């Protein structure tokens, strides 16, 4: 004998689905958002050679957060179920595509050759950009430290402005990961050899080779390198080649004049 419950439950279920569909149609849980109020004319396009990731990221964060789109750069931002919320899902897909377009518009032509723009998957696009600009490895950290050591306060430049440049290099080094004492020793030695480009280049090659073979060039290796170079210079001084002798003769002749 039927109690009417069998008829009541399907009807209630249908009503709930209908209400959910109406709510999704008239008031979807994901609104359609845009970044039209922000443009890229106020900041240089992202490019690794410019070293402008920090400034660029800040601009992107402000622009996307202002429009409620920053969460789309996070991997835990997932779309609604299209079977239950088709309108909200469609809006999510459009928002995701707009974030991708915004990131692409802010990248230089060269940058787009390295990190190919995406039409969807803003979180993955952001991850690739971030990884490229913040995980360069110890060699990139070394070059940034050298840039920091090369900063000078020019006559027309204020001290705070010069310090800001140097500190920015150091911050970028720190963002890439921990820095050990060997890296500082490498930077100091390479900087010390700035007047000897051949020795400087040879040392950089040894350092790079060490990282490539997973055998970092330590302070002990640097001392051996310095000793070898000193010995080589003494040998050249004691046994000059014909070309060196000719150069010395020309120098002495120039002094007599």
Per-residue pLDDT of the chain (257 residues; tens, 9 = 90+): 444 444 444 444 445 555 666 666 667 788 888 877 677 888 899 998 888 888 899 999 999 999 899 999 999 999 998 888 888 999 999 999 999 999 999 999 999 999 999 999 999 999 999 988 888 788 988 998 999 999 888 777 788 888 888 898 888 888 888 888 999 999 999 999 999 999 999 999 999 999 989 998 999 999 999 999 888 888 888 877 655 555 666 766 666 66
Torsion of CA 165, 170, 171, 175, to 10 degrees: 140
Q: Which of 97, 104, 43, 106 is nearest to 72 (CA)?
A: 97
123 and 143 within one domain: no
Whole-number pLDDT of residue 134: 83
Please report the DSSP string for 99-139 in residue order.
HHHHHHHTB-HHHHHHS---SS-HHHHHHHHHHHHH---HH
Q: Say how many CA atoms lie within 13 Å of 159 toward its Cβ.
A: 0
Position 171 in a domain:
yes
In a domain, 253, yes or no: no
Q: State how many domains the chain has.
A: 2
Co-location of 127 and 144 in the same domain: no
Q: Is the residue at 250 inside a domain?
A: no
User: Range of 103's domain?
Assistant: 16-134
Looking at the fold, whether 122 and 215 belong to one and the same domain comes out as no
CA distances from 82 to 60, 76, 92 (A): 29, 17, 10
Q: Are 189 and 175 in contact (CB under 8 A)?
A: no
Q: What per-residue confidence (pLDDT) applies to 23?
A: 65
Domain termination site, one of 80, 104, 134: 134
- Determine the pLDDT at residue 10: 47
Are the C-beta atoms of 135 and 177 separated by less than 8 Å? Answer: yes
Residues 180, 234, single domain; the answer is yes
Q: Answer yes or no: do 149 and 228 share one domain.
A: yes
Q: Which long-range contacts (CB under 8 A, 24 or more apart) does 60-63 make?
A: 60/102, 60/103, 60/106, 62/38, 63/35, 63/38, 63/102
The span from the first CA to the last CA of the chain, in angstroms, equals 127
116 and 147 co-located in one domain: no
Whether residue 130 is found in the same domain as residue 142 = no
Domain-located, residue 2: no
* pLDDT in the model for residue 200: 93
CB-hemisphere CA count at 13 Å for 176?
25
pLDDT at 174: 86
CB 180 within 8 A of CB 219: no
Tell me the CA distances in angstroms from 250 to 242, 243, 246, one per residue in order: 12, 11, 6
**Which phi-psi region, left, alpha or beta, contains residue 51 (left: φ > 0; alpha: ψ -120 to 50)?**
left
Shared domain check, 203 and 121 = no
Same-domain status, 121 and 219: no
Which of residues 80, 107, 134 is at a domain's end?
134
Tell me whether residue 9 is in a domain. Answer: no
**Position 7 in a domain:** no
Confidence (pTM): 0.65
- Write down which residue in 117, 134, 151 finishes a domain: 134
Q: Is residue 10 part of a domain?
A: no
How much is the CA Rg of the chain, to the nearest whole Å? 30
Q: Are residues 29 and 107 in the same domain?
A: yes
pLDDT of residue 12: 46
Distance CA 12, CA 82 (A): 22
Say what the pLDDT of residue 249 is. Answer: 65
């Amino acid at each position: 004998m039927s109690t009417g419950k069998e008829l009541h439950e399907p009807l209630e279920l249908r009503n709930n689905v209908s209400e959910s569909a109406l709510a999704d149609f008239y008031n979807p849980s994901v609104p359609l958002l845009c970044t039209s109020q922000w443009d890229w004319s106020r900041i240089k396009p992202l490019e690794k050679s410019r070293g402008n990731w920090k400034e660029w990221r800040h601009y992107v964060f402000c622009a996307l957060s202002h429009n409620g789109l920053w969460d789309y750069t996070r991997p835990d931002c997932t779309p609604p179920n299209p079977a239950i919320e088709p309108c909200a899902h469609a809006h999510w897909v459009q928002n995701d595509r707009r974030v991708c377009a915004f990131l692409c518009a802010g990248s230089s032509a060269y940058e787009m050759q390295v990190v190919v723009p995406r039409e969807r998957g803003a979180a993955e696009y952001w991850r690739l950009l971030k990884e490229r600009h913040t995980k360069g490895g110890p060699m990139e950290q070394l070059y940034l430290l050298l840039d920091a050591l090369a900063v000078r306060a020019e006559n027309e430049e204020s001290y705070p402005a010069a310090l800001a440049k140097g500190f920015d290099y150091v911050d970028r080094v720190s963002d890439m990961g921990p820095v050990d004492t060997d890296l500082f020793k490498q930077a100091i030695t390479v900087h010390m050899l700035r007047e000897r480009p051949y020795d400087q280049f040879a040392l950089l090659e040894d350092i790079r080779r060490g990282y490539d073979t997973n055998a970092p060039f330590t302070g002990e290796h640097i001392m051996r390198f310095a000793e070898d170079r000193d010995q080589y210079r003494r040998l050249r001084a004691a046994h000059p080649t014909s070309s060196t002798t000719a150069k010395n003769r020309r120098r002495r002749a120039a002094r007599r004049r």
